């Protein structure tokens, strides 16, 4: 059965990796020759200045810069439905596709590995990021830093495949497409998919990769790795979930046509009612927000009028009180409206929590605006109270001043002894 596996790894000098050792591993040469039977196919494409792939990858180790990327390795699982010849054709075309960089080629080496029972056929593709640009260079110069002004005097340019995730994503999609085309040509119905289970909308818990080594070490009489145990638990849960889905699907399939139609109508009506409720809630939020802005405008006008007032004298007191009374009435109306709005918000709070984040943010903003309106109104009342106290104090002072009466000049008494005044 075909499975999807396509991973990319990076080999660099700063991490202590070797391009020569990687090439020896995939070709089963040198110290890996004991497993030479595993490598059933190998090929390479390298610049003509190098005799073979071993020399190319050895020079990459010797002449590349200290922080250079030596290679990128792609490992893919090959479909067991394909025979060896079909697998050779598939990997050759895939290598030509992914090493074609901006109409120029990248050096590569590849090998197909099989185990004895053909249970794990897979591809190792090792790619150099040095672009073959057609300029003849010495072996040492090929891996040096590129010279943009005089390309022939510098090394080959780097493709920088790891600059973004686009190359990785496109490589995984390319392998999916080419592998599925190969399966289609032989008449197989099996397919692979590069997408995650979530992207495929498959309700199944993913398992972890076990690997051939750990799988072969596992036996009923020996210990089991934690990964294997966890995968068994996940597979058991997935099997139960899939059985439940199949049972429910079969149940729906066995339903009469009329019952299915009624069920679809009920689902559609439920969806329409939900959409209508969402629309009503959005309309309500807009109305509440508009009312809050009106209240804020009234409070600002009241503040402006209070700020424009001067301290009134006693004759102006009735006029001031007559002006203040409507303002106080308007404030009470604003408080009542604020309370009504708060009651409405509390009433619909439970509904709003079930809506999307956008509606919830609107409600929170509305509450903030209402709180600001309440604070502004309270400050206005405090200012009005303070002003009234000042007016009452001035009135008391004026009354005290009026109660103090200065003594008048005494009138002289009549002199009766002086006699008549002729």
From first to last of its 422 residues, what are the pLDDT tens digits of the chain?
A: 678 899 999 999 888 899 999 999 999 988 888 887 788 999 999 999 999 999 999 999 999 988 889 999 999 999 999 999 999 999 999 999 999 887 789 999 999 998 877 778 999 999 999 999 888 899 899 999 999 899 899 999 999 888 888 899 999 999 999 999 999 999 999 999 988 878 887 777 666 666 655 555 554 444 455 666 676 776 676 677 667 767 777 777 777 777 777 777 787 887 788 878 878 887 887 788 788 888 888 888 887 777 776 555 445 555 555 555 666 666 677 778 778 777 777 777 766 666 666 666 776 777 777 777 778 767 777 777 777 787 777 777 777 777 764 444 454 545 545 444 44
Assess if residue 420 is contained within a domain.
Answer: no
Inter-residue contact 195 to 111 (CB < 8 Å): no
The CATH number assigned to the domain holding 30 equals 3.30.930.30
Same domain? 119 vs 161: yes
Tokens 């309440």 locate to 374
The pair of three-digit structure tokens given for residue 264, joined into one six-digit string:
């679809």
Assess if residue 200 is contained within a domain.
Answer: no
Dihedral angle of Cα 303, 305, 308, 309, to the nearest 10 degrees: -110
Going from the C-alpha of 10 to that of each of 158, 211, 404, the distances in angstroms are 14, 20, 102
The CATH number assigned to the domain holding 332 equals 1.20.58
Distance of CA 392 to the CA centre of its chain: 63
Assess if residue 357 is contained within a domain.
Answer: yes
**Paired strand residues for 104:** 101
Number of domains in the chain: 3
Neighbours of 20 (CB within 10 A): 19
Residue among 14, 106, 9, 101 at smallest CA distance from 56: 106
**Paired strand residues for 364:** none
Domain around 284? 269-401
- Alpha carbon distance 319, 324 (integer Å): 9
pLDDT recorded at residue 325: 61
Same domain? 274 vs 386: yes
Same domain? 242 vs 327: no
Same domain? 105 vs 184: yes
- Alpha carbon distance 327, 335 (integer Å): 12
Same domain? 232 vs 286: no
Contacts of residue 235, Cβ cutoff 8 Å, sequence gap at least 6? 207
Same domain? 323 vs 351: yes
Assess if residue 89 is contained within a domain.
Answer: yes
Three-class secondary structure of residue 345 per DSSP: helix
pLDDT recorded at residue 2: 78
Same domain? 237 vs 280: no
Assess if residue 228 is contained within a domain.
Answer: yes
pLDDT recorded at residue 405: 47
What is the Cβ-side half-sphere exposure of residue 283, based on CA atoms within 13 angstroms? Answer: 6
DSSP 186: T
pLDDT recorded at residue 53: 94
Inter-residue contact 110 to 125 (CB < 8 Å): yes
Strands 69-77, 100-101: pairing kind: unpaired
Catalytic residues: 25
Residue among 325, 326, 307, 303 at smallest CA distance from 377: 303
pLDDT recorded at residue 205: 67
pLDDT recorded at residue 112: 95
Three-class secondary structure of residue 287 per DSSP: helix
Same domain? 22 vs 160: yes
Three-class secondary structure of residue 101 per DSSP: strand
- Alpha carbon distance 310, 323 (integer Å): 13
pLDDT recorded at residue 76: 94
pLDDT recorded at residue 208: 67
Same domain? 40 vs 159: yes
pLDDT recorded at residue 406: 47
pLDDT recorded at residue 73: 96
Same domain? 129 vs 235: no
Inter-residue contact 87 to 112 (CB < 8 Å): yes
For 106-128, the three-class secondary structure string (H helix, E strand, C coil) is: CCEEEEEECCCCCCCCEEEEEEC
Same domain? 41 vs 186: yes
Dihedral angle of Cα 335, 340, 342, 348, to the nearest 10 degrees: -170
Residue 147 backbone dihedrals phi, psi, to 5 degrees: -115, 105
Going from the C-alpha of 155 to that of each of 54, 71, 137, 344, the distances in angstroms are 20, 16, 8, 73
Residue 11 backbone dihedrals phi, psi, to 5 degrees: -115, 125
Helix (H) or strand (E) holding 6: strand 6-12
- Alpha carbon distance 210, 214 (integer Å): 6
Assess if residue 168 is contained within a domain.
Answer: yes
What phi-psi label fits residue 134: left (phi over 0), alpha (psi between -120 and 50 degrees) or beta? left
Assess if residue 247 is contained within a domain.
Answer: yes
Same domain? 370 vs 313: yes
Assess if residue 102 is contained within a domain.
Answer: yes
């Amino acid at each position: 059965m075909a499975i999807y596996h396509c991973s990319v790894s990076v080999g660099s000098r700063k991490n202590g990796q070797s391009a020569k050792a990687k090439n020896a591993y995939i070709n089963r040469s040198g110290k890996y020759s004991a497993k030479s039977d595993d490598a059933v196919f190998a090929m390479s494409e390298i610049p003509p200045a190098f005799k073979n792939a071993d020399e190319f990858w050895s020079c990459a180790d010797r002449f590349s810069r200290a922080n250079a990327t030596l290679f990128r390795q792609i490992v893919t699982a090959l479909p067991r439905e394909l025979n060896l010849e079909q697998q050779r054709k598939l990997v050759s075309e895939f290598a030509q596709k992914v090493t074609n960089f901006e109409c120029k080629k990248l050096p590569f080496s590849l090998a197909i590995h099989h185990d004895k029972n053909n249970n794990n056929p897979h591809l190792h593709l090792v790619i150099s990021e040095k672009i073959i640009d057609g300029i003849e260079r010495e072996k040492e110069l090929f891996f040096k830093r590129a010279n943009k002004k005089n390309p022939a005097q510098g090394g080959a340019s780097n493709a920088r495949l790891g600059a973004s995730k686009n190359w990785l994503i496109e490589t995984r999609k390319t392998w999916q497409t080419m592998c599925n085309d190969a399966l289609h040509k032989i008449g197989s119905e099996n397919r692979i998919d590069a997408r995650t289970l979530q992207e495929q909308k498959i309700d199944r818990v993913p398992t972890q990769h076990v690997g051939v080594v750990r799988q072969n070490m596992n036996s009923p009489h020996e210990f089991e790795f934690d990964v294997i145990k966890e995968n068994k638990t996940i597979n058991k849960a997935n099997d139960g979930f899939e059985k439940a889905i199949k049972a429910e699907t079969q149940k729906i399939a066995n339903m009469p046509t009329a019952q299915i139609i009624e069920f679809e109508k009920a689902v559609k009506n439920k969806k329409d009612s939900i959409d209508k409720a969402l629309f009503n809630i959005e309309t309500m939020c807009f109305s509440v927000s508009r009312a809050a802005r009106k209240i804020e405008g009234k409070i600002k006008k009241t503040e402006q009028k209070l700020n424009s007032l001067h301290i009134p004298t006693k004759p102006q007191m009735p006029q001031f009180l007559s002006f203040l009374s409507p303002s106080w009435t308007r404030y009470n109306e604003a408080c009542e409206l604020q309370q009504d709005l708060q009651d409405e918000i509390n009433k619909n709070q439970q509904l709003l929590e079930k809506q999307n984040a956008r509606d919830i943010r609107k409600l929170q903003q509305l509450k903030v605006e209402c709180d600001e309106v309440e604070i502004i109104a309270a400050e206005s009342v405090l200012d009005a109270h303070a002003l009234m106290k000042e007016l009452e104090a001035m009135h008391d002072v004026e009354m005290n001043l009026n109660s103090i009466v200065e003594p008048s000049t005494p009138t002289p008494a009549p002199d009766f002894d002086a006699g008549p005044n002729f």
